[in-house]
Chain A
Amino acid sequence: MIKLYDYELSGNCYKLRLLMSILGLDYESITVDFYPGREHKSGWFLKINPLGQLPVLEDDGLVLRDAQAILVYLAARYDQSDRWHPRFDARLLGEVSQWLAFADGITATASAARLHDAMFYDFDIDAARQGGHRLFRILDEHLWFGEREGRDWICRADHPTIADIACFPYVMLSEEGGISRMDYPAIRRWCDRVKRVDGFVTMSGIFPAGPARAA
């Protein structure tokens, strides 16, 4: 069985729980006491990931770290439709990779602001918030024009990809770091769409959306 070294309040761990739920995968969650226990910096965990970061995935003898890398692995290995990680479409795959890197930028800003406010990390909070807003302006503009072109998702496809999964959590959790999404209506609509994907699950801090259509 797949093993996920997991922490409930981590958006990066949630990305993987979300994709595995959408793909219908069973997995075992191994709780790492990230906060306040700092177990990700403990000896036993550093042997698994010398970077001392969550999440880590173990599957069939493979030990993989980095949320975006694990998304790629899970989709490539388990998604029969090849849609979440469209490996046979070079242009689309390029776009997916571009936005996976963008998701890392969201982690470095919006997630950092949240760690500062909720878990008292000693980060430059103003810089983190400004950085988050800069990225959200770019994402909102991208999604707004996407809607004009008939596109619901981050990449140019008629279905969501792991790029959506990678960007979603720390966008949704941004307000815990004092980054309001009021100025980003296209992002807010995209968040509703992600919440309506079949198999969607929430995490603490993320509310479910209403029904997509009349019952």
Chain B
Amino acid sequence: MLQVDRTRWHPIASSDDLPFRHVFQAQLFGREFAVWRADDGYVNVWENRCLHRGVRLSIGINDGRELKCQYHGWRYANRTAGCTYIPAHPADAPARTITNRTFPVVERYGLVWTAEEPGGDVASFDWLERPGRLALRPIPVNASPQRVLASLRDLAFPPCGADGESFETAVESADDSVVVLCARAAGAETLAAFFVQPVDAHRCVVRGVLDRAPEPAPARLSVLRDLNQRLTELRAEIERVAAQEPAPAAFEPAIEPLPTELAEMPAISNHGRRAGFRVSVERKWEAARSIAGFELRPLEGLLPTFQPGAHIDIHLPNGAVRQYSVVNGSGEGATLTIGVKREPDSQGGSSCLHDTVRTGDVLAISEPRNNFPLRRDATKTLLIAGGIGITPLLSMAQTLQNQGLDYELHYFVRDESEMAFRDRLGELGSAVRPHIGLSAEATARQIETLCGGYASGMHLYLCGPGPMLQAARSIAAESGWPDEAVHFEYFKNTKEIDDSSSFEIALARSALTLQVPAGRSILEVVREHGIDMPSSCEQGACGTCMVTVIEGEPDHQDVYLNDSEKRSGSRMMTCVSRARSPRLVLDL
């Protein structure tokens, strides 16, 4: 009986099996994998099954940054396998961290290796590290790995560069997953490792690697053909014998149950203002005049999945917590890039990042949160950025570009030196339309022109300074854009908050009635009573602390909700908004 060692690394593919935008299907001990290389070179080894309805991901589409499931078009990010988009609900960022199971991966000796629960390293063969090595054509065999390992000891082949019939092949070493043979003839010697990938109880793949490949190419090809021929003949013999015996039962790989929160209908996760990840500043540079770019790399493991439009909280060395949008396109997750504008009236956020934080420093960041989700079902998407408002829209633009969707990115700046992230903008080509040095009136006229051609199915995303956003929102409304097609994100809430009211709140699910006095926010009062509420900016701009209002009339003071949402009164921001009625019933 085959011993299943889940801690051991096994090869599951050749590096050559992962060409541009391909998805490879592999199997080990009966468990299937979808294996794909993203455009950034990262090799993903995932359970071959979409978490949603169990469809094989190996029939999915590799778009270079995300893998798209064929059944419902769900998209999963390179590296993390986190779900970035669910087309059935285009307006919502996937509320839960829906993540497919991933497996560790190492590329070595021209092979791709994985293990279910790795202990230790990939088998070490110094002599295969040399650049001249040659990976043979993998040979699948319908027989048990033990039988194949035993038969491989008798494989005979001449060393590279030897002609004639006179050669010897001897076993150098062998264990229960590899046979190393050495072929010798006068003046020539070739070492070869034959790794046996246990596909199932009765199936395996022989993956041979030679220590050196002869030059030039035709000689190399003839070695490949010769060994392919010899292995094919050996396979015929092995399978002939194996076919006469009953095949052992196939493995039934266990499918792990999902975490409870993924199994139920969306529950909102309850993260407070916590820093979950530690990152180091890999690079800090001047992305534009007064804008510092920061590229953040995780100290260990992978960064969490983010979606276009998402922001992270950064916990600064001086104790301040600030929000910055992720600039990366979806699925581009080796590092996170943010852009920080130096604010003249900085209260320790931007000035700390500009003046104090340097390359190599370690920062704590939160899980990315997305209160500015991008629909990918628009017939056309219009992105309008002002100044540093480019950051979330640039993330969106790169995602739309990679998916081949129709969009325009309009970028308003005072002068050319303020245009940030030019390298990324450059890759978007003609979809980027800079508007440089326009006055407030000229900007408004330009936005009027841009908003002119509204048609059903189009969506507009706005991010920039408050007055520009205010103007753009009114222009869009006057041009016939419905509220639900206009999406915006303010950097901050510049409104004066009036916290003089006092009122009662009833928490429906917690069965608590609390008093909110003047000078205190709902968020503060609720937290004081032990209820975990997520929040981020705490000034009514980001949308994280939103709650559903069951009864009562809220006094909205935020800039997150649009006018019709405010009028409906069904949701509110607990960090700044209050009550007009004496009592509010909240879904908490």
* Residues in chain A within 8 A of chain B (CB atoms): 141, 144-145, 147-149, 181-183, 185, 188-189, 192, 207-215
Contacts and interface: CB of A to CB of B under 8 A. Distances in A.
A176 to B, nearest CB: 13
A192 B402 contact: no
Contacts of B401: 215
Given A183-B205, A210-B62, A213-B20, 5 more contacts: A189-B17, A192-B21, A192-B22, A211-B21, A213-B21
A196 to B, nearest CB: 9
A211 B63 contact: yes
Contacts of B22: 188-189, 192
B221 A215 contact: no
Interface string B16-57: 110111101111000000000001000000000000000000
A214 B402 contact: yes
Given A182-B25, A182-B27, A188-B25, A141 B138 contact: no
Contact of A207 (B20, B62, B70, B224): B70
11 contacts: A144-B137, A145-B225, A149-B221, A181-B25, A183-B140, A188-B24, A189-B17, A210-B61, A211-B63, A214-B64, A215-B401
B25 A209 contact: no
Contact of A141 (B25, B27, B62, B137): B137
A214 B221 CA distance: 32
A208 B63 CA distance: 12
B403 A215 contact: yes
Contacts of B354: none
B39 A214 contact: yes
B59 interface: yes
Interface of B: 13-14, 16-17, 19-22, 24-27, 39, 59, 61-64, 68, 70, 137-138, 140, 205, 221, 224-225, 228, 232, 401-404
Nearest to A183: B140
Contacts of B402: 214-215
A118 to B, nearest CB: 18
A188 B19 CA distance: 11
Nearest to A207: B70
A82 B21 CA distance: 30
Contacts of A208: 61
Nearest to A215: B404
A214 B402 CA distance: 6
A185 B17 contact: yes
A197 to B, nearest CB: 15
A147 B224 CA distance: 12
Contacts, number: 56
B68 A211 contact: no
Contact of B19 (A145, A189, A210, A211): A189
Contacts of B16: 147
Contacts of B24: 185, 188
Nearest to B203: A183
Nearest to B16: A147
Q: Which 8 A-B pairs have CB atoms at the shortest separation, nearest pair first?
A: A210-B61, A215-B404, A183-B140, A185-B17, A182-B25, A210-B21, A144-B137, A210-B63
Contacts of A212: 20-21
A213 B39 CA distance: 10
A141 B229 CA distance: 10
A141 B70 CA distance: 29
Nearest to A208: B61
A50 B61 CA distance: 43
A207 B137 contact: no
A211 B404 contact: yes
Contacts of A214: 39, 64, 402
Contacts of A185: 13-14, 17, 24, 138
A208 B21 CA distance: 13
A139 B27 CA distance: 21
A192 B403 CA distance: 18
B137 A210 contact: no
B253 to A, nearest CB: 15
Contacts of A192: 21-22
Contacts of B403: 215
Contacts of A141: 137, 228, 232
Nearest to A209: B61
B217 to A, nearest CB: 8
Contacts of A188: 22, 24-25
A188 B58 CA distance: 11
Contacts of B138: 185
B112 to A, nearest CB: 12
Contacts of A211: 21, 63, 404
A148 B228 CA distance: 13
B110 to A, nearest CB: 13
A72 B335 CA distance: 53
Contacts of B63: 210-211
Contacts of A149: 221
A149 to B, nearest CB: 7
A181 B56 CA distance: 13
Contacts of B225: 145
A166 B495 CA distance: 69
A9 B26 CA distance: 29
Contact of B59 (A147, A183, A207, A215): A207
Residue from the set B21, B39, B404 with the largest chain A CB neighbour count within 10 Å: B21
A200 to B, nearest CB: 14
A183 B232 CA distance: 14
A183 B12 CA distance: 11
A145 B402 CA distance: 33
Contacts of B232: 141
A135 B137 CA distance: 17
A137 to B, nearest CB: 8
